[in-house]
Structure 1
Amino acid sequence: MTTLADDLTDPRSSVRLRAVMAAGTDARVEDLEVLVGRCAVEPDLQVREALTWALVRLPAETVVPRLLDELHRPEAQARSQALHTLSKIRDGSVYPEVAERLGDDDPGVRRTAWRAAVLLAPGDEGPALARRLARELGQGDRETRLALSRALVTLGEDVVAPVLTDAAERRGAAVREHVAETERLLADPDAGSALALERARREMALGRGKRASG
């Protein structure tokens, strides 16, 4: 009979997924280390989501300190997955530790930290968080810009609008363009899907162009 640790190293993602789902269904604190450890290396997104689900089903007082330890791991995926899981647990007391990752060296970790921070920030921290996030306006690729816009919009118009106005007035063209995208998303939440579709179309066009020229 295989153990959870054995199943989580199986090359078949279906086996790993079933193992995690079983562990979450019969949630046991004894599985905490194995589940957290797998978060750092699991390549399949669906299995990673299941790992988060299984961890959320364990007692928060046990899981949260262990996830905070993961925020200091050298592996970007370990930090990102820990942030994602903390955002699902919704324990606002961890906001200071999450905020420390807003400027993480890894772009993927930064995006996850933005999403987690806006969900976990106490109400009185909203304006300061909006100003901190606004420093990133105009930077990164389309995916990063859209992730930042969505995070800012989550804070609410009353909090974000003054920060966007200030950024547009004080900074350059790239920031103004990003502010306009964020304001569009603020006015119409469905605009985010349109922006993502636009990005996908451009990438497909670029891919066709490269194949044609190659």
Structure 2
Amino acid sequence: MLIGEVARRSGVSARMLRHYESLGLVRPSGRTGSGYREYSGEDVRRIFHIESLRAVGLSLREIGRALDDPGFTPADLVDDLIRRTRERIAAETELLTRLDRVHATGPAGWEDVLQVLAVLRALGSPSAGARQRAALAPVDEVPVEALVEAALDERDPVVAGALRWALARSDGSAALLAEGLGSPVPEVRERAVRSLTELPGDEAVALLRDALAHPDAVVRNRAALALGAQGEAAATPVLVDMIVAGSNDTDAADALSVLAGDAAAADRIASLLVGRIGDGTTKPPARGRLTQALAGIPGATASRALADLVGDADRAVALTATYLLRLRGDG
């Protein structure tokens, strides 16, 4: 079979076939009487093998070794191909993400494109100062997806604060931050909920309400403190749990006092606190914190509870209750 016929059947150009021959990858089995290259069926099969190996990313040098070295084992080479392919996919994915973010800003001209690219580059800078300046750039220059990604990754507290401020001025960040609550990394979940607590609007409040049932106590607690400060009664049970656990218990007690703004709410909160004090599983330190929390709850229910606790078997609880009653003018 002459070179033109081989090229037609294989889809490999005659020029490339000659190149393969110069590299020693394919050697025509013979020559015609006129000196033209003549390929056998085995030669053509080898050409197809070469093309198959090229298709999976092997270099011509690697192909030659794979086909001619009797001791060649493909496992290591395949592992290397997998690694290189993953690196290429990661690079292409990063490029696609960057292009999507540029497109989302609706650039009017190349100056806008370059400005957005500069901000994106700065957000990934090793310099904290550069990242902070990028966070403080005008909102229309920073894609919200990039801000969210940066906020969830940021470890520098100053830069993190700037990013949260920027997110609070951006539209569409709440849902993206909520996805961060599902991260397997605790620090990312904490950054996500903290950013949500600083967002304005009903969407953020709704997401924080959902976070009250999150399996991560850090997420639950931050959500409860933020909602309690906004007068959201749904936060009450988690705030009480925080006091029992001794986790930001002073802040939790302050939030409960905010929620106890009317008589009915005050009585409900006092009843919850009293119930936990009387629970046989509640340990003495937690009973003391719960008693202290009654100080910020107005109304008759809290006063009666403190009066009953004056005779408590736990001397620390009894003394705390006595002191608090005097402060309230009930003792």
Measured against the shorter chain, the TM-score band is 0.5 to 0.7
> How far has the Cα of 1:35 moved from its partner?
0.7
- Distance 1:118-1:19 versus aligned 2 partners, 3 A rule: same
- AA at the equivalent of 1:131: P
Q: Which has the higher contact order (CA 8 A, sep 6+)?
A: 1
Unpaired runs of 5+ residues, structure 2, are: 1-113, 299-331
TM-score (norm 2): 0.45
| Whole-Å separation in 2 of the counterparts to 1:29 and 1:163 | 49
Residue 293 of structure 2 corresponds to residue 179 of structure 1: no
Is 1:41 the counterpart of 2:153 in the alignment?
Answer: yes
TM-score (norm 1): 0.66
Equivalent of residue 270 in structure 2, options 131, 143, 161 = 161
User: Could you give the per-residue CA deviations for residues 7-63 of structure 1, whole angstroms, max 9, x where no partner exists?
Assistant: 2232332222122112xxx1127511111001122111121111111011112xx22
Aligned pairs for 1:44-83 (under 5 A) are 44-59=156-171, 62-83=172-193
User: Distance in 2 between the 1:151 and 1:129 partners?
Assistant: 9
**1:28/1:76 Cα in 2 relative to 1: closer, same or farther (>3 Å)?**
farther
Q: Distance in 1 between matches of 2:133 and 2:245?
A: 40
Q: Is the 8 A contact 1:168 1:176 kept in 2?
A: yes
Contact map agreement 2:168 2:200 (CA 8 A) in 1: no
Report if the CA contact (8 A) 2:221-2:238 is conserved.
Answer: no
Instruction: Report how far residue 72 of structure 1 moved.
Output: 1.9
What CA RMSD, in Å, does the superposition of the two structures yield over aligned residues? 3.0
Structure 1 residue runs without a partner (length 5+): 188-214
Distance 1:157 1:94 in 2: 23
Higher Rg: 2
Distance 1:129 1:105, change over 3 A: closer
Name the count of aligned residue pairs.
176
> Cα deviations across residues 73-98 of structure 1 (Å, max 9, x unaligned)?
22333333332333233333454532
Q: Helix, strand or coil for the counterpart of 1:3?
A: helix
1:14 aligns with 2:14: no
Of 170-179 and 41-50, the range deviating more from structure 2: 170-179
Q: Say if 1:109 and 1:132 are closer, same or farther in 2 by CA, change over 3 A.
A: closer
1:145, 1:177 → 2: CA distance?
11
Question: Is 2:243 the partner of 1:137?
Answer: yes
How far off is 1:107 after superposition?
A: 4.4
State percent identity of aligned pairs. Answer: 23
CA distance in 1 between counterparts of 2:141 and 2:254 reads 34
